[in-house]
Copies of this chain bind each other. A is one copy, B any other.
Amino acid sequence: MHRGGGGASATASFYKKVMKTYTISKLARAFELSRSTLLYYDRIELLPASGRTASGYRTYTATDYRRLERICTFRQAGLALEDIRILLSSRGSSCAQVIEKRFREAGQQILDLRNKQRLLSGMLKKLASDDSTPTVDKKMWIEMLQAAGVADRSMSCWHREFERRAPDAHHEFLASLGISEEEIRQIRGWSRKGKAARDQD
């Protein structure tokens, strides 16, 4: 493609001059990772640095950049680094198997978490009833939200998401807390509207 140069080493130095390379920290910043993370990826040979400078600094090329891009995508999906290594080195159906495995795993984790939430809300209900507070669950719940300091952004976001993805489940969940139908309608109302009436980011 480009001119032949004068031998292999000349070509290498040509590339060194022309190709964009990254130092470890620059690459880290590009992906909002820490330097340590990339050091770690280098050590476990998930993303080995392509080369070193004369003084021993790691250099990363555009190819490394693209590899890291993929790694980050997979990590966002919660894949284990070992699985990512497999994915990066194999193409085809074995990829599907790994991804599918993770999908199942995530599904199971969701079930577990939901179960935990059930237990937790049970505990809260029990606490509230033990607690001389006669107004049962609704008060407890509201107290919970407010004491959380979560109040606004996270919780309304959570409700919106819940409502969008699984309206029925949302209803059921609220009902399980002993909240009245009317109250549920209100909550689901502003959940559907998106930007909640009662708080603005």
On A, residues with C-beta under 8 Å from B are 73, 76-78, 92-93, 95-97, 99-104, 106-114, 116-117, 119-121, 123-124, 127-128, 131, 133, 135-136, 140, 143-145, 147-150, 153-155, 157-158, 161, 165-169, 195, 198
Report the minimal beta-carbon distance from A108 to chain B, rounded to whole angstroms: 6
Of the candidates B77, B96, B149, which one forms a contact with A147 in the assembled complex, judged by CB atoms under 8 Å apart? B96
CB neighbours of A116 from chain B (8 A): 76-78, 102, 106
- B73, B107, B120, B149: the one contacting A149 at CB < 8 Å is B107
Among A99, A106, A110, residue most surrounded by chain B Cβ atoms (within 10 Å): A110
How many Å lie between the Cα of A99 and that of B123 in the bound state?
Answer: 8
B119 contacts A109, CB within 8 Å?
Answer: no
Copy count, this protein chain: 2
> A148–B145 Cα gap in the complex (Å)?
30
Residues of chain B with a CB closer than 8 A to A133's CB: 92-93
Q: Which residues of B contact A108 (CB under 8 A)?
A: 148-149, 154, 158
